[in-house]
Structure 1
Amino acid sequence: MNVKITEDFWKNYRNLVRKEMIPYQWNVLNDIGGINIERERADDTIPNEKSHAIENFKIAAGRTKGEFYGYVFQDSDVYKWLEAAAYVLREDDDEDLRKKADDIVDLIAEAQQPDGYLDTYFIIKEPERKFMTLRESHELYCAGHFFEAACAYYAVTGNKKVLDTAIRLADCIDRHFGAEEGKLHGSDGHPEVEIGLMKLYAVTGEKRYLRLCEYFIGVRGECHKFFAEQDEAEKGMTPIFEGMRHADDTYFQIQEAPVKQSTAEGHAVRQIYLCTAMADLAREDGDEELAEACRRIWRNIVDRRMYITGGIGSTVNGEAFTLDYDLPNDTMYCETCASVGLIFFAKNMLKLEAKGEYADVMERALYNTVLAGMALDGRHFFYVNPLEVDPEQSRKNPTKSHVKAVRPEWLACACCPPNLARMLASVDDYIYMEKDGEIFVNLYIASEAEFSINGEKIKIKLETDYPKSGSVKLKVEKNGYKVVNLALRVPGWADNVYGQIDGAEEKVAQEDGYWHVYAEDKQTEISLNMPMYVERNYADTRVSADVGKVCISRGPLVYCAESVDNGEALQNIELLENAVFKENFEPELLNGVISVRTEGKRIVERGNGQLYTHKKMYDIEGQSIKLIPYYAWGNRGENEMRVWLREH
């Protein structure tokens, strides 16, 4: 499958990745340019003087002298940048970028130890503790990100060195971990190596990597004892993460065997990365018990623990899921990486079983939380993605110190910016899917694609200006006479959908969220029309934070109010139940957005300064209200922002 994106909306983002994000992040990782690095929350122990990520590799490789600096997982920032660079090179073989990436591959290979071990923290700082403190070491987490980067870079460039380096590291891990006597009987506190091993298996065909992934997933429910034994052996040693050893089992995803799990628990990114690997392994092995566990966790997330923006993680404490329907808007976490991971999980669930609801969630997370994680300039980034912000509270209330009103230039814990880069640079991989001889269209992004199915060469040209409108046209060409089966997703938000095949009206009959059609002629034109209306959304009343409130959306886009448009004290504005909404495309606003306007009300204080009174001390006045897409908020300076608004 070969895909080229042609739509302006996504071409702009892809150009932003290529021209801004990749060079900017290269400079940060190389400590060039005097970029201000912010702590992700109020904690003076967070290292924020510099990135030092590439310098760590140079020290480990013996090119320079110095000390390790940064988080223990700093290596993963480089690996994710390399993976993003691979996807950019797939679209545009830029000579300068290719040289930088090749140089990084050489550097990584030089840092690798003779036995295949690779982790700059332990090579430089504490070589005697290799694989000795896996609860907190992130050694396998970093390895997983390198496997992903290596597979992507090898696939695009054919660079054998990067694949060989990954294989040596995987073989090193395989020698040290497993059920066999004499090996370590546990895993890493942060799932990720499992995702990387599945990708390495797909590229190499080496069954040991598949079996190792299977082992790491299966052993998680037994890791409490393993970690406790390592903690005991480490008594008297300085912790790598102060306090992490006291986190509960859900934080490390070791509370029970994943195959028995029914709810999303603990650290949201760790949970979702584990689920991503579980779904991939279930498909590969035909493991229905594991697949059913994935379905249970999926249902719990989507039905009870996911924000309307596709964000996950309700608390800063452990960056974690909490309990069903606990979805606060102003203290939530909704880490960018978690929504990127949710897209990974959704994609693997789609590969497991083609159901449109998985692509619906993929779309929700992508167009809202993921895009909101980056400023429109490609040089500022959110770690967390709130649904309600008061800048003054973020500054002065320590329970909200993680909630930023504007995106920092960089973050001390910089997992999110390169994760965003690799996600946006590879979005073409999420548009189509081949499964059982059928072509599924999961995301409506204008593009040209080529397929080869059962010896038939097929070209698809997808035309749309989505998400501006829901009008989609597919032109299908094939070189033979075999019938081509296609499945077009009908989004959950869409009503009054109608379709055409070669100009003839067709009923859009849905099966698992898809309209299945057949292209019999050498050239077939298929149209799917999904009218986009401004819609009101209401939360389940068990979500206490949203009772009496409404959220506005249009197509896949969630909308929000900012104080720059509506005045301060957004808690005092109200939408009317019978309000009429007016849509207006504003080409000069936020790189061109459709804004939504309506008439509402505002509570105006007229009290005498008393905090509490026996009478209502306010008036209600009319107010014009303007809403913008959530992904674009925070790009006009420091503002209040709200997704859920009072309704009157």
Structure 2
Amino acid sequence: MPPCLHVSLFTCFLPPYPMPTLTPIPFTHVTLTDTFWQPRQRANREASLPHIYEWLERTGRVDAFKLQWRSGDPNPPHVFWDSDVAKWLEAAAYSFADVPDPQLDALMDEVIALIASAQQPDGYLNTHFTVVEPGKRFTNLRDRHELYCAGHLIEAGVAHFQATGKRALLDVVSRYADLLDATFGRAEGQKRGYPGHEELELALVKLYRATGEKRYLDLSKYFVDERGQQPHYYDLEARARGDDPAAYWARTYAYLQARVPVREQAEAVGHSVRSMYLYSAMTDLARETGDESLLRACERLWEHLTGRRMYVTGGIGSSGHNEGFTSDYDLPDLSAYAETCAAIGLVFWAHRMLNLTGESKYADVLERALYNGVASGVALNGRGFFYENPLATQGNHHRQEFFDCACCPPNVARLFASLGQYFYSTDGDDIAVQLYGQGRAQIGAVTLRQVTEYPWDGRIRLEIETKPAVFGLKLRLPDWCAGWSLSINGQPISPALEKGYLCLRREWHSGDEIVLDLEMPVVYVRAHPLVASAVGRVALQRGPLVYCLESADHPGVSVHHLIAPKEASAWQVEKSVDWNDVAVLRAEGLQFDISGWEKSLYSTQIPAVKSAALTAIPYCLWDNRVPGEMRVWLPLDAR
């Protein structure tokens, strides 16, 4: 086994994992040069990061750490403000690690010094509860995002340390974690509480991995294990505040994934972002501790989520009322919530499940969410963001520069800045290719190059540069691909398919070339018949991309009046005139003729139709041109 295949962002002296696992290749070892992700990463670095920071300053989020707010002043620091600054710092650290920038480095140091100045003598760090409600520290974990903010600060501290080697923020958040460890637990005098908005749990695992301090892992495990236990902590906490637990607005602790202990949960419920962060932490703990019961729970929850409550775009959470899940197959298109942060959370969880189990089905969902439900969340210029990602609009839903509740912009920024980590994993002396896209990966002593126009074309050429070495190469066969061919140095081969991967093992030499051709026809995707909004309709998909119709391509016609041709083969793939290298789909379809209906709301007559030229664009690109309507699920020509 070539020892060069295991790489890490930092030296790690932790014990080996008790379960067989894959190790993701750090994003700093992966360079993307494709036409899909590289421009988005550049916009993220050059536009999104400065744009978001400007808004953090403009809204008072950065200055809140000066602790100068006094009662009666306007604009009090909100309970979740600290998390917005922390996520920006995390994104900035990843960006700096990928493309060093002295000015960004200096700005991070400045913000970190400000954060450090706000830390209290006992290690506590939260702007809201220091100056707005100083007497209410840790009194409302259910609602007030206190531990959620702590989690994001910890993630930022770990990211900054890994990117720069500087310990300033890592030491600050470690002191805070020490206070949390002393405050929460089952020992006498400790609080038996846990986060209302999960996030701290996964952050503590990251802190453990960065420092080797097992207390942080144990605290994460405590928070996950204690969740939903009886007597219920949120009941006790509410009564201690003088509140009636029955008056809780959500009516059920399922909103917080805390109705029952986590190992008894079988359905994805409640607030969708919270659930993804909890499930991510559960997967982390299963990996770190070998806890099979946590893994089994995650597998049950995964099957339920992806089989009954996920949009075709990889979006999750259908309702704005609870920012989350409702009931099985309730996936409306026009009123879909599908928060950008929820799709990002699904990417986080899928990546963890993928590397814990080695099963490609998790990469399939990761890819679906990444190319559709996440990529739609930010404009191509990097300065506009969706909070909600519906699958149909009437022309009144558009990206915004920022939000009062601003979780999504810095969240997508930190994902895009660290995108390379999702492309490759190692498993012993095997290299697994999880995602496709032109670029270069340095995996120990092996250099792997992808030459491809993916996702616009299914042909992928992989070039290997290495000293002669025997190792395995696993190529994921996407679930959307029905036909493929593979060759090594021009010789066709048909390798074994294991867990969704084409498995190649041989002695490799510099100059070896693998060509994988994935058939990429336009297909019609149909939803389960219980998805009411999609009955009798189809969604267009080509490769990993879901397509939609948008008003910009159909002037003078409502996209809700357009009808797709009977066969998916009627759609032709063409280059877009609006975006370089983008593949759009064109077909001759139909449109409802509404002439004669001016004075009628109902009629016994079958509506007339006439021919219409249809153009479909990738869903992730909608609302980047002129404002207008959009639709994913299309009625089908039934003639």
C-alpha contact 1:68 1:124 (8 A) present in aligned 2: no
Give 1:421's aligned residue. Answer: 413
Q: Tell me how far apart the structure 2 counterparts of residues 373 and 224 of structure 1 sit (CA, whole Å).
A: 40
C-alpha contact 1:327 1:543 (8 A) present in aligned 2: yes
Q: Tell me how far apart the structure 2 counterparts of residues 613 and 231 of structure 1 sit (CA, whole Å).
A: 53
Which amino acid letter does the alignment assign opposite residue 487 of structure 2? Q
| Pair 1:20-2:47 in alignment | yes
Give 1:489's aligned residue. Answer: 476
Q: Tell me how far apart the structure 1 counterparts of residues 606 and 537 of structure 2 sit (CA, whole Å).
A: 22
Which amino acid letter does the alignment assign opposite residue 236 of structure 2? E
- Displacement, 1:519? 4.2
C-alpha contact 1:61 1:110 (8 A) present in aligned 2: no
Give 1:544's aligned residue. Answer: 532
Give 1:124's aligned residue. Answer: 131
From 380, 388, 394, give the equivalent of 2:392: 388
Give 2:63's aligned residue. Answer: 55
- Displacement, 1:317? 1.2
Give 2:430's aligned residue. Answer: 438
- Displacement, 1:590? 3.8
- Could you give the per-residue CA deviations for residues 454-487 of structure 1, whole angstroms, max 9, x where no partner exists? xxx22212222211111112222223x4411111
Which amino acid letter does the alignment assign opposite residue 158 of structure 1? G
Which amino acid letter does the alignment assign opposite residue 336 of structure 1? T
After superposing on structure 2, the runs of 4+ consecutive aligned residues of structure 1 that deviate more than 3 Å are 64-68, 243-247, 606-614
Give 2:353's aligned residue. Answer: 349
Q: Tell me how far apart the structure 1 counterparts of residues 401 and 46 of structure 2 sit (CA, whole Å).
A: 16
Q: Tell me how far apart the structure 2 counterparts of residues 116 and 338 of structure 1 sit (CA, whole Å).
A: 31
C-alpha contact 2:343 2:374 (8 A) present in aligned 1: yes
Q: Tell me how far apart the structure 2 counterparts of residues 617 and 535 of structure 1 sit (CA, whole Å).
A: 28
From 133, 156, 160, give the equivalent of 1:153: 160
- Could you give the per-residue CA deviations for residues 511-551 of structure 1, whole angstroms, max 9, x where no partner exists? 11111112403323222111211111111111111010011
Which amino acid letter does the alignment assign opposite residue 137 of structure 2? K
C-alpha contact 1:268 1:321 (8 A) present in aligned 2: yes
| Pair 1:222-2:229 in alignment | yes
Q: Tell me how far apart the structure 2 counterparts of residues 169 and 627 of structure 1 sit (CA, whole Å).
A: 50
Give 1:193's aligned residue. Answer: 200
| Pair 1:599-2:588 in alignment | yes
Secondary structure of 2:504's match? strand
From 474, 480, 486, give the equivalent of 1:499: 486
Which amino acid letter does the alignment assign opposite residue 347 of structure 2? I
| Pair 1:333-2:337 in alignment | yes
- Could you give the per-residue CA deviations for residues 345-401 of structure 1, whole angstroms, max 9, x where no partner exists? 00100111011111111110110011100111110100000001013xx5xxxxxxx
Given the superposition, is the C-alpha separation of residues 60 and 150 from structure 1 closer, same or farther in structure 2, using an over 3 Å criterion? Answer: farther
- Displacement, 1:94? 0.6
Give 2:613's aligned residue. Answer: 624
**Sequence identity of aligned pairs in percent?**
41
Give 2:622's aligned residue. Answer: 633
Give 1:43's aligned residue. Answer: none
Q: Tell me how far apart the structure 1 counterparts of residues 96 and 154 of structure 2 sit (CA, whole Å).
A: 18
- Displacement, 1:235? 2.4
Which amino acid letter does the alignment assign opposite residue 40 of structure 2? Y
Which amino acid letter does the alignment assign opposite residue 420 of structure 1? V
Which amino acid letter does the alignment assign opposite residue 149 of structure 1? A
Q: Tell me how far apart the structure 2 counterparts of residues 124 and 490 of structure 1 sit (CA, whole Å).
A: 54
- Displacement, 1:320? 1.3
- Displacement, 1:615? 2.2
- Could you give the per-residue CA deviations for residues 540-579 of structure 1, whole angstroms, max 9, x where no partner exists? 1111110100110110000000122124332221112136
Which amino acid letter does the alignment assign opposite residue 254 of structure 2? T
- Displacement, 1:246? 4.5
Q: Tell me how far apart the structure 1 counterparts of residues 231 and 565 of structure 2 sit (CA, whole Å).
A: 53
CA RMSD after TM alignment: 2.0
Q: Tell me how far apart the structure 2 counterparts of residues 148 and 326 of structure 1 sit (CA, whole Å).
A: 34
Give 1:11's aligned residue. Answer: 38
Give 1:36's aligned residue. Answer: none
C-alpha contact 2:48 2:383 (8 A) present in aligned 1: yes
- Could you give the per-residue CA deviations for residues 170-211 of structure 1, whole angstroms, max 9, x where no partner exists? 101000001111101020110000110010011111111111
Secondary structure of 1:53's match? coil
From 524, 534, 547, give the equivalent of 2:522: 534
Q: Tell me how far apart the structure 2 counterparts of residues 544 and 281 of structure 1 sit (CA, whole Å).
A: 38
Which amino acid letter does the alignment assign opposite residue 582 of structure 1? Q
Q: Tell me how far apart the structure 2 counterparts of residues 16 and 382 of structure 1 sit (CA, whole Å).
A: 16
Which amino acid letter does the alignment assign opposite residue 20 of structure 1? A
From 356, 363, 368, give the equivalent of 1:359: 363
C-alpha contact 1:187 1:223 (8 A) present in aligned 2: no
Q: Which runs of 5+ in 2 are unaligned?
A: 1-6, 8-28
Q: 1:108-507, aligned counterparts within 5 Å?
A: 108-222=115-229, 225-235=232-242, 245-391=249-395, 405-452=397-444, 457-479=445-467, 481-507=468-494
- Displacement, 1:234? 1.6
C-alpha contact 1:497 1:508 (8 A) present in aligned 2: no
Q: Tell me how far apart the structure 1 counterparts of residues 341 and 578 of structure 2 sit (CA, whole Å).
A: 27
Given the superposition, is the C-alpha separation of residues 437 and 181 from structure 1 closer, same or farther in structure 2, using an over 3 Å criterion? Answer: farther
- Could you give the per-residue CA deviations for residues 289-344 of structure 1, whole angstroms, max 9, x where no partner exists? 11010001001111111000000001111111111111110112100000000000
Which amino acid letter does the alignment assign opposite residue 327 of structure 2? L
Q: Tell me how far apart the structure 2 counterparts of residues 209 and 223 of structure 1 sit (CA, whole Å).
A: 24
- Displacement, 1:75? 0.7
Which structure has more relative contact order (CA 8 Å, sep 6+)? It is 2
From 494, 499, 502, give the equivalent of 1:512: 499
Which amino acid letter does the alignment assign opposite residue 573 of structure 2? E
C-alpha contact 2:90 2:414 (8 A) present in aligned 1: yes
Secondary structure of 1:414's match? coil
- Displacement, 1:504? 1.1
C-alpha contact 2:286 2:294 (8 A) present in aligned 1: yes
Which amino acid letter does the alignment assign opposite residue 333 of structure 1? Y
Q: Tell me how far apart the structure 1 counterparts of residues 248 and 464 of structure 2 sit (CA, whole Å).
A: 54
Q: Tell me how far apart the structure 2 counterparts of residues 199 and 319 of structure 1 sit (CA, whole Å).
A: 27
C-alpha contact 1:56 1:68 (8 A) present in aligned 2: no
Given the superposition, is the C-alpha separation of residues 508 and 568 from structure 1 closer, same or farther in structure 2, using an over 3 Å criterion? Answer: farther
C-alpha contact 2:495 2:504 (8 A) present in aligned 1: no
Q: TM-score, normalised by structure 2?
A: 0.92
Which amino acid letter does the alignment assign opposite residue 23 of structure 1? P
Q: Tell me how far apart the structure 2 counterparts of residues 446 and 68 of structure 1 sit (CA, whole Å).
A: 46
Q: Tell me how far apart the structure 2 counterparts of residues 568 and 256 of structure 1 sit (CA, whole Å).
A: 50
Secondary structure of 1:104's match? helix
From 82, 97, 101, give the equivalent of 2:104: 97
Q: Tell me how far apart the structure 2 counterparts of residues 501 and 65 of structure 1 sit (CA, whole Å).
A: 71
Aligned length: 606
- Could you give the per-residue CA deviations for residues 60-87 of structure 1, whole angstroms, max 9, x where no partner exists? 699x996663531111110000011011
Q: Tell me how far apart the structure 1 counterparts of residues 180 and 321 of structure 2 sit (CA, whole Å).
A: 31
Given the superposition, is the C-alpha separation of residues 146 and 224 from structure 1 closer, same or farther in structure 2, using an over 3 Å criterion? Answer: farther
C-alpha contact 2:35 2:581 (8 A) present in aligned 1: no
Moved more, 319-328 or 379-388: 319-328
Secondary structure of 1:463's match? strand
Given the superposition, is the C-alpha separation of residues 69 and 223 from structure 1 closer, same or farther in structure 2, using an over 3 Å criterion? Answer: farther
Secondary structure of 1:221's match? coil
Q: Tell me how far apart the structure 1 counterparts of residues 296 and 384 of structure 2 sit (CA, whole Å).
A: 39
C-alpha contact 1:575 1:647 (8 A) present in aligned 2: yes
Q: Tell me how far apart the structure 1 counterparts of residues 361 and 606 of structure 2 sit (CA, whole Å).
A: 47
Q: Which runs of 5+ in 1 are unaligned?
A: 32-50, 395-404
Secondary structure of 2:79's match? coil
Secondary structure of 1:299's match? helix
